[in-house]
Structure 1
Amino acid sequence: MPGFFKLKSDALADQLATGEAIMRVSKSVFKNTANSEWKKFNDDTRGWLFANGYIYEGPGAGPNGEIPDSVEIVPVYDTANRMHVRIPWAGDLANPPKVLDEPDYGIGKNRFPVLLARYFMRKCR
């Protein structure tokens, strides 16, 4: 059975920080300067995800939810004229998990980064 990525924290402030980190990666894609968020992400994707609020729950996960090397992570990048379509793994369709109502996304300008954090690493379900 495959695992799932989850946010480490239910706190909006933590999810806001995760969303802001995702936005920094997006704004710096393919920029390999020393302080580029893209460089940090590209050099150690598993470590970046864990450091920025995600844990892995599944086979081989580390004691704190670290992502094992056995999990292949494939970043994809949308552009103004290219959008990726995600096809779910057929095994996830055999016995899909119960979908719960989403909690509040926060207010004002914090709303979008929290939404981004919650959906960035989701599997299709």
Structure 2
Amino acid sequence: MGFFMLKSASVADQAKTGNAIIRLSKSVFKQGPASEWAKFNKDIRKWLYDAGYRYDGSADGRVPAHVDIVPVYDTEHRIHVRIPWAGDLKKPPKPPDETYAASFPVFLARYFMRKCR
């Protein structure tokens, strides 16, 4: 099983990814041609790839059909806690020293799919 990674190390590209996440968050459950949620909900795999993520468990960076993706969303009074897969705890990597170029969208792009399988 692979992990989701940002396709680009460019801060500008990561800001675009972060802005796509912001649009997605602001449009949850809204429909219509301008709704990021509608695009996401129609094809999550495509949205993730187009937004700037690649899946390192496939040759082309796209998520294979056999991988289940379960989107969760927080609300003002609901926060999800992600429990890591036990296999990831066997040889945990050293966390990278990161800077976010004083950009919330860049921080969001890096945080959004961190260690997601």
Place the TM-score, normalised by the shorter chain, in its bin.
over 0.9
Runs of 4+ in 1 over 6 A off after TM superposition: none
Aligned to 1:69: 65
Q: TM-score scaled by structure 2?
A: 0.93
Alpha-carbon distance in 2 for matches of 1:55, 1:39 = 21
> Distance between the aligned counterparts of 1:96 and 1:70, measured in 2?
25
Write out per-residue CA displacement over residues 7-33 of structure 1, whole angstroms, 9 at most, x where no aligned residue: 000001000000000000000000111
Separation of aligned partners in 2, 1:45 and 1:106:
28
Question: How many residues in Structure 1 have an aligned counterpart in Structure 2?
Answer: 116
For the aligned residue pairs, the C-alpha RMSD in angstroms reads: 1.2
- TM-score normalised per structure 1: 0.88
- Gaps of at least 5 residues in structure 1 are none
Offset at 1:123? Answer: 1.8
Shift of 1:44: 0.5
State the Cα distance separating 1:64 from its structure 2 match. Answer: 2.7
Q: Unpaired segments of 5 or more residues in structure 2? A: none
Identity of matched residues, %:
63
SS of equivalent residue, structure 1 residue 6: strand
